[in-house]
Amino acid sequence: MSKGTVCVCGAGNASQVFIALFASQGYEVTVLADFEDEAERLEAALALSGGITVTNRSDPENICTFKGGPVRVSKHAVDVVPQADSVVIALPSFAHKKILEDVRDHLRSGAVLFVMPGQGGVDFLGRQILGDRLLRGDVILAGVMPMPLNCRIQKFGDSVDLASIKHSYDLAAIPAEAAPQAAAMLSTMLGKEVRALEHFIAVHLWPANPNIHPGRLYALFHEHVAGKVYERNPLFYEEFDELSAEWCQKINDERMAVWTAAVQQSGGAVGNVEDVPHLKPYIESAYFGQIHDSSTL
């Protein structure tokens, strides 16, 4: 018996993991792949593979695989969205506007849209594009942090390498009072803990890539001069050093100061100070059981 229908948007790395994951767990999965010939390519690949096989090595001591495929793939929202109880948008921020415009007129009443990652202003786009349906709660828009997966396609429509899946998640929703409902739904879908936040500003100030990437890039290239040639591509995470940690911590401290001020000046309307974590404990929580040495950032 089906657990319901999930529409996965796109056919990139994360989307292909979600297709296999939800299908293998008993959901009917549809796919909206509207980029160029992505839908046709995915259908052709699935006809040969019979489904996408994901190798999950997030626990090196217990490497496993799961496999699954969609019941329908299309580049047209009318084919794959109306039947969906939830829509998973695991796409870069620049793609959010077009996807929301595509699905807007085809969402069933009560549908929940999960945007991963939830940063990038999707709440503003949602209000603009989904309008009254969103504001009155006929549909729910949830921004999820962090992005659940670190993964890479090995063979399109056939196999994906899943390096890690985060341990827990947080989300904010519009309408705000629907966040607990959306969190419970996503928790069931992912089999992970999902916490409901009071306001989208908490998602925007989450200690994700905007906290990590600038500090790391500064540490890598602060001594760069025009014309300098690098012998190799530096490893972004594997060679993360103390200077990178120092600058990430400085960004963390400013970010948390902004969040604390927002909580205080709103009288707690946006949430509690502890709702948004510092960078180091967040990483330890997100990658619980996958970090060998957590003594320093």
Mean pLDDT of 106-116: 97
Sign of CA dihedral 70, 72, 75, 78: negative
Distance CA 187, CA 257 (A): 30
69-66-187-76 Cα dihedral, nearest 10 degrees: -20
Chain segment 29-75, per-residue pLDDT in tens = 999 999 999 999 999 999 999 999 999 998 888 999 999 999 999 99
- pLDDT per position as a tens digit, 132-150: 999 999 999 999 998 888 8
Place of tokens 């997030």: 58
pLDDT number for residue 295? 74
Residue closest to 142 by CA, chosen among 196, 187, 193: 196
Tens-digit pLDDT profile for residues 154-164: 999 999 999 98
Each residue of 226-281: pLDDT tens digit? 999 999 998 888 889 999 999 999 999 999 999 999 999 999 999 999 999 999 98
CA distances from 270 to 176, 230, 276 (A): 10, 45, 11
Q: How confident is the model at residue 6 (pLDDT cuts 50, 70, 90)?
A: very high
Q: C-alpha distances in angstroms, 5 versus 45, 78, 83? A: 22, 15, 7
Distance of CA 144 to the CA centre of its chain: 6
Q: What is the mean pLDDT of the chain?
A: 94
Which residue in 59, 84, 70 sits closest to 29, CA to CA?
70
Q: Tell me, what's the pLDDT at 236?
A: 87
Whether the Cβ atoms of residue 153 and residue 193 lie closer than 8 Å to each other: no
CB of 141 closer than 8 Å to CB of 134: yes
pLDDT for 269-284, tens place per residue? 999 999 999 999 888 8
DSSP H helices, the chain, are: 13-24, 38-49, 77-80, 96-103, 122-135, 179-190, 200-204, 209-221, 242-265, 279-286
pLDDT for res 290: 63
The whole-number average pLDDT for the span 287-293 is 68
1 has a pLDDT exceeding 80: no
Cα–Cα dist 293/275, whole Å: 25
Question: Amino acid identity, residue 197?
Answer: L
The residues facing 141 across adjacent strands are 113, 174
Q: What's the pTM value of the predicted model, to 2 decimals?
A: 0.90
